Amino acid sequence: MFLDTLAEYRALVLQRMREHIPSRGRYAETLYQPMLDYPMREGKCFRPALCLALCQACGGTLEDAFETATALEMFHNAFLVHDDIADCSHSRRGQPTLHAQHGIALATNVGDALNMLALGTLLANTGHLGLERALTVIEEISRMARESTEGQSIELDWVAGRKAPAGARDYLLMTYKKTTWYTCIAPMRLGALIADAPPDRLGAFIPFGFRIGAAFQIQDDVLNLVGDEALYGKETNGDLEEGKRTLMIIHAMAHADPSTRARLEAIYAKPRVEKTVEDIGFVVEAIGRAGSIDYARQIAQRLTASARRAWDERFGWIPPSPHRRFIDEMIDYMITRPL
Amino acid sequence: MFLDTLAEYRALVLQRMREHIPSRGRYAETLYQPMLDYPMREGKCFRPALCLALCQACGGTLEDAFETATALEMFHNAFLVHDDIADCSHSRRGQPTLHAQHGIALATNVGDALNMLALGTLLANTGHLGLERALTVIEEISRMARESTEGQSIELDWVAGRKAPAGARDYLLMTYKKTTWYTCIAPMRLGALIADAPPDRLGAFIPFGFRIGAAFQIQDDVLNLVGDEALYGKETNGDLEEGKRTLMIIHAMAHADPSTRARLEAIYAKPRVEKTVEDIGFVVEAIGRAGSIDYARQIAQRLTASARRAWDERFGWIPPSPHRRFIDEMIDYMITRPL
């Protein structure tokens, strides 16, 4: 039932996206078709689904939030395309990354075009929502984009070795900005504000969305270590090769003996191409020895429990409905993905 | 006098940009300071100046167009940062490109952040211009961005060897979209629409801005071949190394004997790093033998003459003023830059 609704939302959003992106004509082959590449791969469309469900749960219609939900999926895919370039990732959703297929030049432009077309999509809101709400949506997107680029800059500092996270707190701040704003906080706030929810209700979505989004991201990091690549779609251990500072590696470093820690630091200081199979094996072992996967799962569970309490206590103003129930199930699904 | 005004506009726009971009705090070093890097190098700020002058020439105030002009300069610099990545360029305005200094990951994020902060800047228009005009400005920017990314995709096809331009017409279409929209057409249309010029007057800025912008770009391409790197700021012959299809190389190929043409095609099919000094020398000679630089200059002069006629004949509704005179001089300056 939940998965059916999620799939329906996805089909609607991708259909709308296709309407915004021409599939023929002079620019189709090297611009518009590559823009549709990632969206058409196996993705869940969590972000638009959250936005659509929240809007309806708060009394709005599906149509009210439709352009915004579509734009969120475009921004998300733009972010993935550029993030894959930044991380030198090889695969995404089970296939080669866009820049691996077409080169960095084309992929950079495709990401820019997705961002800009998403903005165009938001402009279609004026007819339905009126000028003022259409602009409020763009303001929220602008805030979201600012959080994402700041979060990205924290992580790039770590990967480049310019700085290192001191502990779980730093990891959670990075994730709050890089992931949870555009994955949970903004989609939910947008759904609510499009439905004309009272502005003083919007603040509570920030700690709530942070908890769901961070649990989701930690789960994603765990899957990258223990998941099956065929199901998960990214390279297993890809995060280790890229030098990502996940909660697990931060924990493992903090709990390793001095010589292990020194070797871990040395491995993380190497560029991706210089990391050997032995290096990766050493990191995996250190993470195992420190119990860092269990530690990360515990943090995710604590965030989840706290998010569930907040949903019950602070969002009672959203009346019971199939849409509210969908969000309930969505929270469960996002943080306990069966991969 | 003209140069003084241009410098004043530049100082104002850069000051406003600094106000929008925090120079301290956690994200300053790897996000906000690099965002200011290109803008603070020696640039002319043509695009904001065109917008500010047009707005005032049409009866608006400097303040009316100020946020928009600042956003245009941010979009321009975002475009340069990503374009330098796409072209593997080494230098920009006399210094190393951003990705050469900080890596592709950071530069990709800085370009994205500039685009998104430019959008935020446009949102500040609502107070001054009201909701409707603020949204019309964003619509114009959205159109501009679409033209730029389409133009970029044409050029990337050529550089990657997926397609080749058939003649001057193809070159001019690429330039129309990639350069002239965001350099001339949109800045002027924005200035005029912010000043509440009648909407039916805006169409004429498209052929007019195209002619100025294309003459400007051809001049830029010529300077890349014959200019002094110290003055010009980019690598001399950088376009040749990057495999850019300029009007000169298109002309030289069309007028070369079959064996020369075959070798030129072979050189253009090579990736940048495989091109030898002899290759570049061969291209320079072929361009010289075919008289392609004179040919390009003639095309630029024809475009300029036609732009001047259009300015006199189709823009008589803009009354004489120091601002109109500034635009007059700007046209001359952009296409006869003394470098």
Q: Across chain A, what does the average pLDDT equal?
A: 93
Question: Which positions ≥6 away from A79 have C-beta within 8 Å?
Answer: A111, A148, A182
Q: What is the pLDDT of residues B23-59, one digit of tens each?
A: 888 899 899 999 999 999 988 899 999 999 999 999 9
A153, B119: Cβ pair inside 8 Å? no
Say if residue B4 is exposed, middle or buried (CB neighbours under 10 Å; 0-12, 13-18, 19+): exposed
B149, A116: Cβ pair inside 8 Å? yes
What's the CA gap between B296 and B307, in Å, rounded?
A: 16
A interface mutation test: which of B108, B139, B155 has the most A CBs within 10 A?
B108
Q: What is the pLDDT of residues B278-291, one digit of tens each?
A: 999 999 999 999 99
pLDDT exceeds 90 at position A42:
no
Nearest to A142 among B87, B109, B119 (CB): B119
pLDDT value for B306: 94
Question: Which positions ≥6 away from A157 have C-beta within 8 Å?
Answer: A163, B30
Which amino acid, one-letter code, is at B136? T
Identify how many contiguous H helices and E strands chain B contains and give both numbers: 17, 2
For residue A267, the Cα-to-chain-centroid distance in whole angstroms is 27
Prediction ipTM score: 0.93
A111, B113: Cβ pair inside 8 Å? no
Contacts of A138 in chain B (CB under 8 A): 119, 123, 138
Assigned fold of A2-335: Farnesyl Diphosphate Synthase (1.10.600)
pLDDT exceeds 70 at position B231:
no
Going by their DSSP bridges, the two strands B95-96 and B91-92 should be labelled as antiparallel
What's the CA gap between B168 and B170, in Å, rounded?
A: 5
- Identify the CA nearest to B122 among candidates B108, B136, B143: B136
What's the CA gap between B99 and A156, in Å, rounded?
A: 13
Q: What is the pLDDT of residues A262-308, one digit of tens each?
A: 999 999 998 888 999 999 999 999 999 999 999 999 999 999 999 99
**Better pLDDT: B182 or B22:** B182
Other CB atoms within 10 A of residue A188 CB: 28
Report phi then psi at B96, rounded to 5: -60, 145
A interface mutation test: which of B140, B142, B170 has the most A CBs within 10 A?
B142
Identify how many contiguous H helices and E strands chain A contains and give both numbers: 17, 2
- Identify the CA nearest to B283 among candidates B257, B242, B253, B247: B253
Q: What is the pLDDT of residues B185-215, one digit of tens each?
A: 999 999 999 999 999 999 999 999 999 999 9
What are the C-alpha distances in Å from B121 to residues A25, A122, A142, A153, B72?
33, 17, 9, 21, 10
**In chain B, what are the domain boundaries?**
2-335
The dihedral sign for the CA sequence A141, A144, A149, A150: positive
The dihedral sign for the CA sequence B143, B148, B149, B155: positive
Q: What is the mean pLDDT of residues A252-263?
A: 95
Question: How does DSSP classify residue A96?
Answer: E
pLDDT value for B235: 65
